[in-house]
Structure 1
Amino acid sequence: MTAPTPTTKTPPRRTGYRDVFAVREFRAVFAAHVLSLSGTVVAVMALAVLVYRNTGSALLTAVSFALSFLPYVLGGALLAPLAGRYPARRVLVACDLLCATATALMVLPYTPVPALLALQALASFVAPLFSGVRAASLGDILHGDAFVLARSLMRIVAQSAQIGGNAGVGLLLVVMSPRGALLITVVGFLGSALILRCGTPQRPPTARERATGGTWTLLRDRRVRRLLALFWLPPAFMVVPEALAAPYATELGVGTAAVGLLLAANPVGSVTGELLAGGLLQPAARERLVLPLALAGLPLFLLFAARPGLTSALLILCAAGMTSAYSLGLDRWFFDALPEELRARGMTLLTAGLMTVQGLGMTLGGLVAEYVPTHAVLAGAGGIGALCVLAVARSVRRAEARRPGSETGPTAI
């Protein structure tokens, strides 16, 4: 009698970006994201040009830029209780309509500059609520690795907008007035609201805020605190070269075109890293690389101590940007650490904190650069940032290694 031939179990097919786009509801959320993000990019630059034309003030122009992220911390703190308490679709559509209304008021020809700045602050104020609720809703649409890749796609779009957005809007403003460009922003927000209203189902709210204690419940959780710190710390130092791109180009004696290249290098690396990690690595491999990648980026900035030339600086920034792929595995850890009823609030807190620390990093880097050569500031940011991330990463490693079923072991870093 012939012995039966042993069967080989076929390993499950790895989820890819194509599988994420195969989900109809995600396609609607993604399209809305592209429209609202495009509108935001146009609004920031168009408003800055409008304010400068009306006042001739460099300070007020800078304030208009700063108001695109400074209200995040206040909005995240005050609006986080709403995240999860109301149906996600209702919250997202309401935020889009509020931003469309605020931008439409900017278009009016007699809107004074203080009102323009206040309207920009209002749009930024609701942004963390919008981002947090949308991120949490992705967990209802997609599960497991598909959720991680969906978050990755959202970041890729944001980084791509940073790479080409300013140049594209600059060309747009050559042929169109700032207020005309702001009309495009209105259309973008309205289009996003329409897609979300028609392309996504109404789900019941998930929060039981009064029973759980809300934000304080999250912040009392050591694992949540550690993971938030690991999300926030690398970007807080990684943005310093962006804030000092113009001074560093001046220090090197290169043309103003180099400033755009320096600003684009890190986002190019980020997009490349996300695509490689999301497209080539298994979920377990991405989780094992969270801590090594989080630690690898900032030490590269120590090379700025030698004041590298433009080409070398671009390579350093691009390589550092590629390490941001650590976010893919970290997304999975963080989402799993959040109680289901507090996921929207947790994602809102994450977004608000991320924007806030980046604003602080840019500000502190610029302040120090008033007294210290730019290349030394960049090297110092790399050294200090690497030590801070190392302390958090060691704490996360110990905690994740003790967690049942974790892929992170003692050799992770």
Structure 2
Amino acid sequence: MAGLRDVFAVPGYRRLWGARTVSQWGDTVNFVALALLIYELTGSGLGVSAVVAAEIAAVLLLAPVAGPLVDRWPWVRVMVCADLFRGVLAGLLVVWHDSAAVVYVVAFAMSVGAVFFNPAASSVLPGLLGRDELVAANSGIWTAAVVSQIVLAPLAGVLVTVAGYGPAFALNAVSYAVSAMVLAGLRVPGPADHLVRGRLLVEASEGVRVLVGDRLLRALAAGQLLAALSAGATSALLVVLAEDRLGAGGSGYGLLISAIGIGAALGPLVLLRLTRRPRRPLFVFAPFALRGMVDLVMAITTALPVAAAALAAYGLGTSTGAITFNSLLQAETPGHARGRVFASMDVIWQAGRLVSLAAGGLLADTFGIQTVYYLGGLLLLAAAATGLTTLNPRPAKPRR
């Protein structure tokens, strides 16, 4: 299996890695600032869920169209335009962030850009590298992302406390601009020339048929859905748990985000150093079980150090699972349908998150945040069981 040194020797990968790393710096600051801002403006778990629901709505509405378009258009051009669009929106929040309605509208519009960027970015990587290099390539991108969390998440909480929300959103806007400039020089083979262009919805349905018709892709989709039903609420409402149950403020919330990052930073090391076949079903679906057990711990504990340690384990499961999951999906998806399959997976993920957020916000406000994490843990355990039993069926008993 290829290592990080092998993939960084590819100039196109270095450019892609650099652009996504710079963008991640801004995203980390923006994530912390936006969660704190919307909780400050609304004062409820349902309010926090609503801003994420606005982001999800864009995916559900546009992904069926975005997937076929990504398969038609040059992937790099799609990524550059999406970054520039989101940079303008991030700049809007610099000067106008005192209204929850504005936050919801901007969150929706920024998600529109992501609907196009994400399938294009996932399609680019297999075009730059071979199948055996995908785990190392995704590990490199993930490592940069989690290091950004470790370093910048606590600083983001401090920045918001000291300087306010404007500077945090300004950093995100600048990061999008830099990412777009770096990506503009990326050269990668575009979508397949043999794609027959028809109606967008017909092309979208063909992508769904590719996803449903393959046993492995079906298993990945099922795991994706169950995980989304869990993580949608638990991720968005972590700020509520930090404030109400752990008694932590902005800095404490940043610490919890950093704990996830520390655990996630170990994931690529485990995959590249300790395993030879990281795309095996065990390494794809077992991380769901680890994350499920962590959610159960989070439902029980009231101690910030225990919660931070548990979230470090959650981060380990998140990074190892995401790297192996995405690498397997990229390797097994036909090149001509990448945009549509990846967009379909985004729809599955975001639809599950939407249901999770709607239920999670109500459950948190009605029964308390513990209920959300208990249910989230059980759903992740179900995701692990579903994937492992589907791809590793019990052998049939011999007839007598």
Match of 1:269 in 2: 263
1:134-169 deviation digits (Å, cap 9, x = unpaired)? 111100111123212222333333444444444323
The reply on whether 1:145 has 2:137 as its aligned counterpart is no
SS in 1 for 2:2: coil
Q: Which has the higher contact order (CA 8 A, sep 6+)?
A: 2
- Shift of the 43–330 alpha-carbon distance from structure 1 to 2, 3 Å rule, reads closer
- Shift of the 171–159 alpha-carbon distance from structure 1 to 2, 3 Å rule, reads same
- Shift of the 45–249 alpha-carbon distance from structure 1 to 2, 3 Å rule, reads closer
Structure-1 separation of matches of 2:248 and 2:218: 43
Structure-2 separation of matches of 1:232 and 1:121: 21
How big is the shift at 1:26?
0.8
How big is the shift at 1:127?
0.2
Structure-1 separation of matches of 2:393 and 2:329: 16
Structure-1 separation of matches of 2:182 and 2:226: 34
Counterpart residue identity of residue 143, structure 1 = G
Bigger mean CA deviation after superposition, 132-141 or 19-28? 19-28
- Shift of the 82–165 alpha-carbon distance from structure 1 to 2, 3 Å rule, reads farther
Match of 1:227 in 2: 220
- Shift of the 252–191 alpha-carbon distance from structure 1 to 2, 3 Å rule, reads closer
- Shift of the 240–206 alpha-carbon distance from structure 1 to 2, 3 Å rule, reads same
Which residue of the other structure, out of 374, 378, 383, is the alignment partner of 2:378? 383
Structure-1 separation of matches of 2:153 and 2:79: 26
Structure-1 separation of matches of 2:136 and 2:170: 32
Which of structures 1 and 2 has the bigger CA Rg? 1
SS in 1 for 2:367: coil
Cα pair 2:246 2:302 within 8 Å, conserved = no
Which residue of the other structure, out of 359, 366, 375, is the alignment partner of 2:361? 366
SS in 2 for 1:15: coil
SS in 2 for 1:390: helix
Cα pair 1:304 1:376 within 8 Å, conserved = no
Cα pair 1:132 1:349 within 8 Å, conserved = no
Which residue of the other structure, out of 180, 189, 203, is the alignment partner of 2:189? 203
Residue pairs, 1:145-294, within 5 angstroms: 145-173=132-160, 176=163, 178-198=165-185, 200-201=186-187, 203-206=189-192, 208=195, 210=197, 213-223=205-215, 224-238=217-231, 240-245=233-238, 248=241, 254-256=247-249, 258-283=252-277, 288-294=282-288
Cα pair 2:233 2:357 within 8 Å, conserved = yes
Counterpart residue identity of residue 315, structure 1 = A
Structure-2 separation of matches of 1:371 and 1:258: 24
**Paired residues, number:** 385
Cα pair 1:133 1:348 within 8 Å, conserved = no
Structure-1 separation of matches of 2:305 and 2:69: 47
Match of 1:321 in 2: 315
SS in 1 for 2:287: helix
Which residue of the other structure, out of 67, 77, 90, is the alignment partner of 2:77? 90
Counterpart residue identity of residue 367, structure 2 = V
Structure-2 separation of matches of 1:116 and 1:235: 23
RMSD: 3.8
Instruction: Tell me the TM-score normalised to structure 2 length.
Output: 0.79
Which residue of the other structure, out of 331, 336, 339, is the alignment partner of 1:341? 336
Counterpart residue identity of residue 378, structure 1 = Y
- Aligned residues with identical type, % of pairs: 23
Bigger mean CA deviation after superposition, 314-323 or 132-141? 314-323
Which residue of the other structure, out of 9, 29, 32, is the alignment partner of 2:19? 32
Structure-2 separation of matches of 1:110 and 1:300: 34
Structure-2 separation of matches of 1:163 and 1:133: 27
Structure-2 separation of matches of 1:247 and 1:90: 39
Which runs of no fewer than 5 residues in structure 2 stay unpaired?
none
- Shift of the 258–166 alpha-carbon distance from structure 1 to 2, 3 Å rule, reads closer
Structure-1 separation of matches of 2:355 and 2:147: 23
Structure-2 separation of matches of 1:71 and 1:353: 13
Which runs of no fewer than 5 residues in structure 1 stay unpaired?
1-13, 403-413
Structure-2 separation of matches of 1:285 and 1:216: 23
Residue pairs, 1:111-122, within 5 angstroms: 117-122=104-109
Instruction: Tell me the TM-score normalised to structure 1 length.
Output: 0.77
SS in 2 for 1:206: coil
Cα pair 2:285 2:384 within 8 Å, conserved = no
Structure-2 separation of matches of 1:307 and 1:45: 22
How big is the shift at 1:196?
1.1
Cα pair 2:32 2:254 within 8 Å, conserved = no
Cα pair 2:71 2:336 within 8 Å, conserved = yes
Bigger mean CA deviation after superposition, 275-284 or 253-262? 253-262
How big is the shift at 1:61?
7.4
The reply on whether 1:330 has 2:325 as its aligned counterpart is yes
Structure-2 separation of matches of 1:348 and 1:302: 31
Cα pair 1:266 1:318 within 8 Å, conserved = yes
- Shift of the 158–236 alpha-carbon distance from structure 1 to 2, 3 Å rule, reads farther
The reply on whether 1:20 has 2:15 as its aligned counterpart is no
Structure-2 separation of matches of 1:248 and 1:238: 14
Cα pair 1:88 1:134 within 8 Å, conserved = yes
